[in-house]
Chain A
Amino acid sequence: MNYHWNWGIYWEASPEGTGSYADMLWSGLLVTLEVSAIAWVIALLIGAAMGVVRSLPSPWAKRISGTYIELLRNIPLLVQLFLWYFVMPELVPDAWGDWLKQMPDAPFWNSAVGLGLFMSARVAVQVSTGIAALPRGQQAAGTALGFTLPQTYWYVLLPMAFRVILPPLTSELINTIKNSSVALTIGLAELTARTRAMQEFSFQVFEAFTAATVIYLLLNLAATWAMRLLERRLRLPGYGAG
């Protein structure tokens, strides 16, 4: 192989003049973390709401949540980001569109919201599955004690449903982080984008990608570890095997 390895490249100054290549990757990592965090909060909130709606007995509720979930699940994330970034500003009234286009961090907010909504459909499916997995009598017990429907969900069903779905939620969190890399297509300077930039500036393809790979692996480990910790904290004595 006539490839010239240079593992010291990370500490060399990048042509951007703002520090070393390592700094470049670091800034990308921070953006990846920020976008993933905001997207995850959106995904959890809207996903929980839609999951609850999906679990309601009313056929209308099922139709609304079903439409929402199918729409977001059956369009590629990349296309969804394009819709938010390129199409949305043209479809809203001109004044809003101009505001959207001139927003200082447009790629950032578009990615966070787009990714958050994309993931919310998956979270919604998990939440409604979790609720359906609870014994049917739990809702009856809440109702019989005089809880209103929202109270039954809040005090009885959701606390258990979320415990049940913690493991799949862990993979969805990791998916959120991984999917944030798609945002490089709308110009977000996240980790993969900064890795690409490093590769283009330095021609050290494999050093750049190796660094990104290691960082993503570490992010995986960190997310898994954090969720395990949460699982352990929420574990109920005597309930289930694990």
Chain B
Amino acid sequence: MNASAPVIRMQHVSKWYNPHFQVLKDCSLDVTRGEVVVVCGPSGSGKSTLIKTVNALEPFQQGTISVDGIDLHGKGVNLPRLRARVGMVFQHFELFPHLSVLDNLDIAQRKVLGREREEARARSVALLKRVDLSAHAEKFPGQLSGGQQQRVAIARALAMDPVVMLFDEPTSALDPEMVSEVLDVMVQLAREGMTMMVVTHEMGFARKVAHRVVFMDQGEIVVDAPKEEFFGAVTNERARVFLSKILAH
């Protein structure tokens, strides 16, 4: 592990769904340790696809991606082990409905990382406390609100001690009044120095904690700029139109 090397290094990544439809066009992006990168763009711009290539949930045909120095397409790469070190939070939470909240946090620790029951349980309990859900530990996902479910999902990802956290529109399936409780947890994480890549339209979150903002359109990374520059004087026309649209309401 090299402290200065990027945690995520994405070089010239292209992806086609079929010969006539290219979803990602030559995307290159680095995320260094401790950095928070927000990815935004209109729907259908490929941002969700892009973030899912990082832990190889989406295959890609051209380019290279390495996570923590390990090439995804490298020989003998153990993808499950690699994915275990990349936390991911989904738009629709994707908690496992047949497991209690605690078991949702335990199961991958035990079955993937091989932790003992007590060790896993202690970690889960601590993380639930951190997302302020200790009172709901024995409940099932179906008994929680959307905001609570998403906080459990964040805790589940953290339980694996990831080197980086990926967020794929973590608040867009939530009722408006629940958005802030999830964002608060994410802000807290960012302030503690977690490396994060976040696909979101929440520009308030970006302003508060992002280091860089990436703007995508039609499968291309159009803008990749430090936050101040992006919000201050973005020169790209498409990005400006997009920003004015989402900031208007």
Contacts and interface: CB of A to CB of B under 8 A. Distances in A.
Nearest to A145: B108
A236 interface: yes
Contacts of A143: 57, 80, 83
A146 B108 contact: yes
A163 interface: yes
B140 interface: yes
Interface in B68-126: 80-86, 88, 90-92, 94-98, 107-108, 111-113
A168 interface: no
B142 A146 contact: no
A155 B107 contact: yes
B78 to A, nearest CB: 9
Interface stretch (A34-42, A47-55, A108-116, A133-141): A133-141
Given A147-B112, A160-B98, A237 B84 contact: no
Contacts of A141: 88, 90, 94-96
B160 A146 contact: yes
A139 B156 CA distance: 15
Contacts of B107: 155
Nearest to B139: A237
A135 B97 CA distance: 11
27 contacts: A137-B91, A137-B92, A137-B94, A138-B94, A138-B96, A140-B90, A140-B94, A141-B95, A141-B96, A143-B57, A143-B80, A144-B55, A144-B57, A145-B156, A145-B157, A146-B81, A146-B83, A146-B108, A146-B112, A146-B113, A146-B160, A147-B80, A147-B108, A160-B96, A160-B97, A236-B97, A236-B98
